């Protein structure tokens, strides 16, 4: 192999288009449930992590300053507490629940994504060893 041709890896890279796509389509199909669980867990964790700033904004505007009524998006008004103390504790419990939910689904995401990645890597290593 001459200097102009490059390394064996360069030759392989020129021969194979989109190697990551090929790797994913060859080795991931039997393990997509782990990827799906991980991605759903990640989306839920990210949505839950957005709740504390929303609730704090509503609580500050409503409970502490009294400028606006205490309402949360997607929560029926019949569920909303009436007194300031109840509104404060309602906000506090939503924030605590949000942190717990974020932690739980971040853990689920980590376990599922690592399981997917390690199973794919094991299969790639096994196939490489068999080829060698």
Q: What is the separation of C-alpha 24 from the centre of its chain, rounded to a whole number of angstroms?
A: 19
Kindly indicate the confidence band of residue 8, based on its pLDDT and cuts at 50, 70 and 90: confident
> Is 108 part of any domain?
yes
Q: Give the pLDDT of residue 108.
A: 97
> Is 90 part of any domain?
yes
Nearest to 108 by CA among 50, 48, 44: 44
Cβ pair 77, 71 in contact under 8 A = yes
**If you average pLDDT over residues 19-35, what whole number do you get?**
85
**If you average pLDDT over residues 81-95, what whole number do you get?**
88
> Is 17 part of any domain?
no
Kindly indicate the confidence band of residue 1, based on its pLDDT and cuts at 50, 70 and 90: very low
> Is 127 part of any domain?
yes
DSSP reduced 3-state for 129: helix
Domain residue limits at 109: 23-131
> Is 29 part of any domain?
yes
Q: Give the pLDDT of residue 119.
A: 92
Residue 57 has pLDDT above 60, yes or no: yes
Q: What is the mean pLDDT of the chain?
A: 86
Summarize pLDDT for 109-122 with one digit per residue, the tens: 999 999 999 999 99
26-31, long-range: CB within 8 Å, 24+ apart, which pairs?
Answer: 27/120, 27/123, 27/124, 28/116, 28/120, 31/116, 31/119, 31/120
88-120 per-residue burial string, b: 16 or more CB within 10 A, e: under 16? bebbeebbeebeebbeebbebbeebbebbeeeb
Kindly indicate the confidence band of residue 51, based on its pLDDT and cuts at 50, 70 and 90: very high
Domain count, the chain: 1
> Is 83 part of any domain?
yes
> Is 18 part of any domain?
no
Cβ pair 87, 70 in contact under 8 A = yes
> Is 70 part of any domain?
yes
**If you average pLDDT over residues 63-70, what whole number do you get?**
75
- Range in 13-17, 91-95, 103-107 the model is least confident about: 13-17
Residue position matching structure tokens 């949360």: 72
């Amino acid at each position: 192999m001459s200097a102009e041709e490059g390394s064996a890896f360069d030759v392989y890279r020129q021969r194979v288009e989109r190697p990551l796509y090929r790797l994913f389509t060859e080795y991931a199909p039997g393990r997509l449930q782990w990827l799906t669980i991980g991605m759903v867990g990640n989306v839920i964790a990210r949505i839950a992590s957005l709740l504390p700033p929303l609730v704090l904004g509503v609580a500050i505007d409503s409970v502490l300053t009294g400028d606006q009524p205490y309402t949360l998006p997607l929560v029926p008004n019949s569920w909303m507490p009436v007194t300031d103390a109840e509104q404060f504790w309602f906000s506090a419990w939503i924030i605590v629940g949000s942190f717990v939910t974020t932690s739980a689904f971040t853990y689920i995401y980590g376990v599922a994504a690592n399981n997917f990645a390690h199973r794919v890597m094991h299969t790639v290593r096994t196939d490489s060893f068999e080829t060698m």
